[in-house]
Amino acid sequence: QGMEQWLPLFYESLDSLFDYLPDQAQIFLDNQAESARAERWDLIADAYDGRVEAAKTKGAASSNRALAPRSLYLDAGDWNQALAGRAVRRFTPFSSGGEDAGGRLGRTFAAERAQDSVNLFEAVAAYAQALKTEGKRVLFASWTEGSSERLATMLADHGLDHIVAARDWADVQAAPKDIYLRGVLPVEHGFATDEVAVISETDILGDRLARPRKKRRASNFLAEASALTTGDLVVHLDHGIGRYEGLKTLDIQQAPHDCLELLYAGESKLYLPVENIDLLTRYGSDSEGAQLDRLGGAGWQARKSKAKERLRAMAEGLIALAAKRALRETEAVVPPSGLFAEFCARFPYEETDDQLNAIGDVLED
């Protein structure tokens, strides 16, 4: 509800990330990180100045309740002071005469992924064995612990038997060179130094093409008032079908408040605060002949009750069908673990929640 912008009013001071870091922690800044910080600060400052000027123009300075940016964020001086006295390393893609840590971009297996005749994991295992022959520690980096375990299982099927989990970089540095390592290290691409070679999950399996995750809501859920146009029919969860008449600003407790103006039967109007827009859904594509509900009337509640009864009957039918399926038995089919794991790993998309549920249901059925 926006209360976080008033945190300085409730606490004497606000902690930043630097307050949680030990004194000996090294700070690594990505290329252009400080430029991005400065641009974000300018954006915040401009937004604050705009609110101040708008309040002055309306002649009601008290309506601007935003706090100054410096009370909420680290300005340039605070930022430099937080970095002072710490070991700071700044990454750059250019050869600028700075310190070279010796890391070089590792190889990918895009060519092997594109050839059905080549076993991807055999190629990865052969490459890892060659790296170990060169005297390097080999670390397989994955995005999650689960994917790390699955990758180790698949590689074990192709000759890499001793793959040990590493908790942190200190474990990697202290590990003997006759074993392989795995761990959770969210890097896009692997790299190699004189001592260590990192092979990332993305190097092996390629980019996971993440589908946009939809929130589990109705497709006609209204995310914001801008999705509506004047005259659209909407359905209020408690009051039924109404017509959207536009946005209207009301003075509530001496403060302006944006509300959606909804027209109902009998010229009745309902003003819905914009933060409660989740109570609305679109009426549907075919609105011709639709009748507006009456505020406080029993018609909408009666239709909701009938719909609930129909849904309850449908649910009972589905439960009965599920019970019949649960009572039937057949011979279980167990896929070969290694081949099935490889098949799953080469799926180039991030599974949706519905897909994961369906996969789980099939495997458990």
Residue 106 has pLDDT above 80, yes or no: yes
Predicted TM-score of the model (pTM): 0.49
CATH level 3 topology of 104-205 = Rossmann fold (3.40.50)
Q: What percent of the chain has pLDDT over 90?
A: 24
- CATH 3.40.50.11140 spans which residues of the chain? 104-205
pLDDT, tens digit, for every residue of 184-229?
A: 988 889 999 888 999 999 899 887 654 454 444 444 445 556 678 8
Q: What share of the chain is helix, strand, coil (3-state, %, to 5)?
A: 40, 20, 40
Strand, coil or helix: 252: strand
The predicted pLDDT at position 16 comes to 92
pLDDT tens digits, one per residue of 36-88: 999 999 999 988 888 888 777 766 545 567 888 999 999 999 999 999 988 99
- H/E element, 171: helix 169-174
User: What is the phi/psi pair of residue 280, to 5°?
Assistant: -105, 145
| CA 35 to chain centroid | 25
Task: Give me the residue label for tokens 């190629």.
Answer: 123
User: Could you give the angle at the alpha carbon of 163 between the alpha carbons of 159 and 167, nearest 5°?
Assistant: 165
Q: How far is CA 220 from CA 14, 233, 258, in A?
A: 41, 12, 22
Q: Which residues pair with 244 in a beta bridge?
A: 262
Contact 228, 237 (CB under 8 A): no
Do 270 and 250 touch, CB atoms closer than 8 A?
no
Q: Say whether pLDDT at 317 is over 90.
A: yes
- Rounded alpha-carbon distances, angstroms, from residue 12 to 79, 184, 218: 19, 38, 44
Q: 164-169: long-range contacts at Cβ-Cβ below 8 A with a sequence spacing of 24 or more?
A: 166/139
Q: Extract the tokens encoding 204.
A: 């092996």
CA distance 179 to 161: 9
Please name every residue paired with 264 in a beta bridge, in sequence order, or none if there are none: 268
Q: For residue 182, what pLDDT is reported?
A: 93
pLDDT of amino acid 55: 76
> What value, to the nearest 5°, has the Cα angle with vertex 43 and ends 41 and 48?
95
CA distance to 64, 89, 181, 212, per residue, from 143 (Å): 44, 24, 15, 19
For residue 103, name the pLDDT band (cuts at 50, 70, 90): confident
- The class level of CATH for 225-297 reads mainly beta
> Residue 10 contacts by C-beta under 8 Å, 6 or more apart in sequence?
none
Residues of the chain within CATH 2.40.10.170 domain(s) are 225-297
**Cα 191 from Cα 213, distance rounded (Å):** 31
